Amino acid sequence: MELSGKTRVCCVIGDPIEHTLSPLIHNAAFKHLKLDFVYVAFRVRREELENAVKGMRSLGVHGFNVTMPHKNAITKYLDELDSTAKFIGSVNTVLNEDGKLFGFNTDGVGALKALKENHVRLNGEKLLLLGAGGAAQAIAFQLASEVKELTILNRDGEKAKHLANVLREKFGKKVVGKTLSAPSVKEELKDAGILVNATSVGMHPNTEQILVNREWLRPDMAVMDIVYNPVETKLIKDAKAVGAKVVYGTEMLVFQGAASFEIWCKRPAPVEVMRKIILKSVHGGAAPVEGTI
């Protein structure tokens, strides 16, 4: 990659940041399309976030990703938010257009694209979503209008109920929020056609943790786990064992990264190139943090 005075800079900010896969993903995409862009990572502490955003604006950084712990706090330093980012109060992608900063959240878009590209039927189905954190909220917002009904289970039941109430009012669909427990998961899975785990349960190194027993799964359902380290979580292995359709967390990762790329570059992302580098990195032993692109 040859840099010049015309090279556009993109980056990711967070703390910690050493684990991020984003430079690998985006630099591979830039190189493949022969774009004069470069992508780097910056560690930004909580107390330095405002100054960092001012610096991005002043230096003309073209775009940046935002990971933990800044995805919520950064919203107050941006000029405009897209509908998803505004709804959940969380941003993972920023575009700088002539000093005006636009915030987006591509988590939900990534999940929707991953399901559709893997031929998961959404229309007419009940979706069971585990979790109500930042990624789960974005997924719920994006998928609520696609499915017949949505049930959200979260350890903090009140958080799930609040999210469900807001979504029900916005989309006019049947949306229910309940406390996550073994009995509630078992009961709600009985008539669910799609299961999405949007928690960190099963992530490396706690790979044997589960929220769903294998015997509750069915061959006529689809199961997606947004955890991608390991690539094959216990939930994914169990779903495959019963003959269910599975969607790996790496699929959501590649499509949310592709969505960021397309916001910045205004052209289709080289998805296969990005998928290949992600799989190579994850199989190589990287241990990414939840919510990181």
Catalytic residues: 71
For residue 92, give the nearest of 102, 79, 44 by alpha carbon: 102
For residue 138, give the nearest of 73, 76, 83, 74 by alpha carbon: 83
Tally Cβ neighbours within 10 Å of residue 183. Answer: 8
Helix (H, G, I), strand (E, B) or coil at 4: coil
User: Among the residues of the chain, which ranges form H helices?
Assistant: 22-32, 49-59, 83-88, 107-117, 134-143, 157-171, 182-189, 234-241, 249-265, 271-283
Strands, sheet with 100-104, edge to edge from the N-terminal-most edge strand? 37-43, 8-14, 63-66, 93-97, 100-104, 80-81
Which pairing describes strands 63-66 and 93-97: parallel, antiparallel, or unpaired?
Answer: antiparallel
- For helices 271-283 and 22-32, the axis angle rounded to 10 degrees is 140
- The four Cα atoms 163, 113, 244, 293 give a dihedral, to 10 degrees, of -70
Question: What's at 255, amino acid-wise?
Answer: F
Give 169's contacts (C-beta < 8 A, 6+ positions apart).
Answer: none
Tally Cβ neighbours within 10 Å of residue 179. Answer: 15
